[in-house]
Amino acid sequence: MKYTLDDFQEWLILIDFKMNYFTKEFAEEQKLTLDYSSRSLDELECWILTNFDDHKKLIADSKLLDYMTIYVGETFRRYIGGKWFIDLKNKRNAYYSMPVLTDPSYRGEVYKAPMTFVTACISRKKGNYISWILNNCIKSQNI
């Protein structure tokens, strides 16, 4: 989904509401433990791999992708900090119009793009791709 500034502001406001649903009702229905731990990222990724064989199918379910993007991003924030940001000015930015995490303390890649982690895990088929990224971020930040 491409966002406008108003869309993004509304999206930020709804994060808590969406995560309340995703970590409770959705998690219970799907028998997942979504507690913002690194281990929960592996559990979620295994669920994704079981339910999606193609990233295009997940992208087509924009609501579910949104929940997963927020969950992964909020999990990363608990470990490495950062704030949600959206670049609506630089169309050459690979993450143009996509919610990302950023922080002046980030070393290396200044944007962490949870949506791309969620969709890319399908083709990687590792089961721990997202937590592997998180662990690399933790190491690079010396946390």
pLDDT of residue 142: 80
Quick one: average pLDDT of 103-115? 93
Q: What is the pLDDT of residue 3?
A: 77
Q: Is pLDDT above 70 for 1?
A: no
pTM over 0.75: yes
**Whole-number average pLDDT of the chain:** 95
In DSSP terms, 85 is beta-bridged to 100
pLDDT at 17 (0 to 100): 98
User: CA geometry: angle at 29 spanning 28 and 31, to 5°?
Assistant: 60
Report the pLDDT averaged over residues 4-33.
Answer: 96
